[in-house]
Amino acid sequence: MNKKEIAKRIQIVSLRMVREKPSLLYPQRAIRKPEDAAELFRQFIEDCDRECFCVLCLNTKNEPTALHQVSCGTLNSSLVHPRETFKLAILANSAAIIAGHNHPSGVPEPSPQDIELNNRLVHCGQILGVELLDHIIIGDGSFVSLKERGLM
């Protein structure tokens, strides 16, 4: 065999975050309570007819720097993996994130799957050094904070 037959080509890649248009104006500047995060998520995913899972990236002052839709699923579920959840947070140099998703049924009560996912994300965030501050579930005009429920 010659060297060309046994050599493996390795691709050279670069990674960058793309800022999409439009952006959201956030006059409060910082997230101070779960209601603040819920209102931001509500603007982004409240009217979705399928379950959508998003992350809000925060700097060290709890100021939102980016909002990213990680997954858009079906009527009652969304496939979410920590790898995709934390990808933007790492690219955006985030100190912390807040997760949020909607329940198209309008009832924001956390399911066992929501709690299981939340626990995985908390654990992965600890390993990566990007803290998951809260997980907000949006319903019809209301929301649930897993942190306020003592589920974090």
| CB-CB contact of 117 with 110 (8 Å) | no
SS (HEC) of 62-94 = CCEEEEEEEEECCCCCCCCCHHHHHHHHHHCCC
Say whether pTM exceeds 0.75: yes
Q: Which 3 state secondary structure label does DSSP give 113? A: helix
**Confidence band (pLDDT; 50, 70, 90) for 127?**
very high
| CB-CB contact of 99 with 89 (8 Å) | no
The pLDDT tens digits of the residues spanning 55-110 come to 999 999 999 999 999 999 887 778 899 999 999 999 999 999 999 999 999 999 99
pLDDT at 131: 98
Q: Which amino acid is at 10?
A: I
